[in-house]
Amino acid sequence: ELARQLLSGGAERIYLFGHGENSIYQINHQLRLLQEEGVGEKATIVPVIGDMKDGPYMRYILSQLRADVIFHTAAYKHVPLMEQNPVAVVENNVFGTANLLEASLESNVKRFVLISTDKAVDPVSVYGASKMLCEQLTLSYARKARDCGSDSAYMFVRFGNVLGSRGSILPLFTDQIRKGGPVTVTDPAMVRYFMTIPEACSLVLKTGGVGINGESYLLDMGDPVRIYDVAEQLIRFMG
């Protein structure tokens, strides 16, 4: 969705960077179809396969691409799964982000926007703690950019659950309902903030446009919703 909005917004060149060849292929294919329909038909789309845990490769790639803006959306983010795999989440989320930040500074990237989470505030999970460290790393590179006289801007934006995104509870509920139940809710009193994918991406792009170096931004998610109520409404909606 972020790439689609960038394409329709007039981006000259879009790099799709990820380590999953299938997801990068699918995104690239979807964007090509949009171009055939006349959306951003003059834009250049470049799929790039790589792993941000590989520091030297990240520095090489960014030195070649010369990207102006980076939206850093990559993270292991399934909370229960990450509790069982703390080494992997720290290696990917924290060290991977450090590599990307260092490569960005070396290549003089003009704007770096880290996509963070409300779970980074007083974190109670491995995932939340990893994203809190990513935020601190981003702020440290904002200071480095300022100290070396660069006009680059490093910032992060926090928001809650995005409906239908990877790691969202909705696909799980939908699968459970299709199988005839049961629909599992860990705690009936648990509340979460929700917004749609297009809303989140639009606000992320605005942050990238108006954000100031070293600043943190929090999207207005509206009122929190009980997970139990979401499950109940989804069951009714699906008949």
AA identity, residue 133: L
Distance between CA atoms of 151 and 139, rounded to whole angstroms? 15
Please report, to the nearest 10 degrees, the dihedral formed by the alpha carbons of residues 226, 220, 75, 103 taken in order.
-170
- For strand 153-158 and strand 111-115, is the pairing parallel, antiparallel, or unpaired? parallel
Cα angle 2, 164, 5; round to 5 = 15
**Exposed (0-12), middle (13-18) or buried (19+): which is 187, by Cβ within 10 Å?**
exposed
Q: Which one of the listed residues 53, 119, 179, 206 is annotated catalytic?
A: 119
- Amino acid identity for residue 88 in this structure: A
Q: Is 39 left (phi over 0), alpha (psi -120 to 50) or beta?
A: beta
Active-site residue flag, 119:
yes
Would you please indicate which residues are annotated as catalytic (active-site) residues?
119
